[in-house]
Amino acid sequence: MSDLPHYSSQRARFVAAVERQHGALTSYPHPLPGPQGETLYTDVAVIGDPGASKLMMIISGTHGVEGYYGSDSQIEWLNRFSLTALPDDTAIVLLHLLNPWGAAHLRRVNEDNIDLNRNFIDFTQPAPANPEYPSWHGIYHGDRIQADELLAETLNGAGWLAVKRVVEAGQYQFADGFLYGGQQPSWSYRTMQTIITDHLSQAKTILSFDLHTGAGAWGHPMLLSIAEQQVAAHQWGKSLYGEWLTLLFTGAGRDSVTGVTATATGYLSQFLLESLPQTHILPLVVECGTYPGEEMHRRVRDDHWLHLQGDPASESGRALKQQLVEGFWPADRDWRDLVAFRTQQIFVRGWQGLLNADHNRP
Full 3-state SS string of 170-210 = CECCCCCCCCECCCCCCHHHHHHHHHHHHHHCCCCEEEEEE
Examine residue 260 and state whether it is found in any structural domain, yes or no: yes
Examine residue 175 and state whether it is found in any structural domain, yes or no: no
Q: How many CB atoms lie within 10 A of CB 273?
A: 22
Examine residue 78 and state whether it is found in any structural domain, yes or no: yes
Q: Which amino acid, 236?
A: W
Number of domains in the chain: 1
Residue 308: which residues within 8 A CB-CB, separation 6 or more? 141, 176
CATH number at residue 89: 3.40.630.10
Examine residue 307 and state whether it is found in any structural domain, yes or no: no
How is residue 29 annotated by DSSP? E
Q: CB–CB of 71/10 below 8 Å?
A: yes
Examine residue 14 and state whether it is found in any structural domain, yes or no: yes
Q: How many CB atoms lie within 10 A of CB 152?
A: 11
User: Where in the sequence is the domain holding 252, given as residue range(s)?
Assistant: 7-123+189-287+329-355
Tell me whether residue 35 is exposed, middle or buried, using C-beta atoms within 10 angstroms of its C-beta: 0 to 12, 13 to 18, 19 or more: middle
What would the DSSP string read from start to end of 137-176?
Answer: GGGGSS-HHHHHHHHHHHHHHT-HHHHHHHHTT-BSS-TT
Examine residue 137 and state whether it is found in any structural domain, yes or no: no
> What are phi and psi for residue 145, nearest 5 degrees?
-65, -45
Residue by residue, pLDDT tens for the chain (362 residues) are 468 999 999 999 999 999 999 999 999 999 999 999 999 999 999 999 999 999 999 999 999 999 999 999 999 999 998 877 799 999 999 999 999 999 999 999 999 999 999 999 999 999 999 999 999 999 999 999 999 999 999 999 999 999 988 998 999 999 999 999 999 999 999 999 999 999 999 999 999 999 999 999 999 999 999 998 999 999 999 999 999 999 988 866 656 666 576 667 899 999 999 999 999 999 999 999 999 999 999 999 999 999 998 999 899 999 999 999 999 999 999 999 999 999 999 999 999 999 998 755 54
Q: Rounded to whole angstroms, how far apart are CA atoms 121 and 178? A: 17
Examine residue 344 and state whether it is found in any structural domain, yes or no: yes
Half-sphere CA count of 109, side-chain side, radius 13 A: 24
Q: Rounded to whole angstroms, how far apart are CA atoms 253 and 255? A: 7
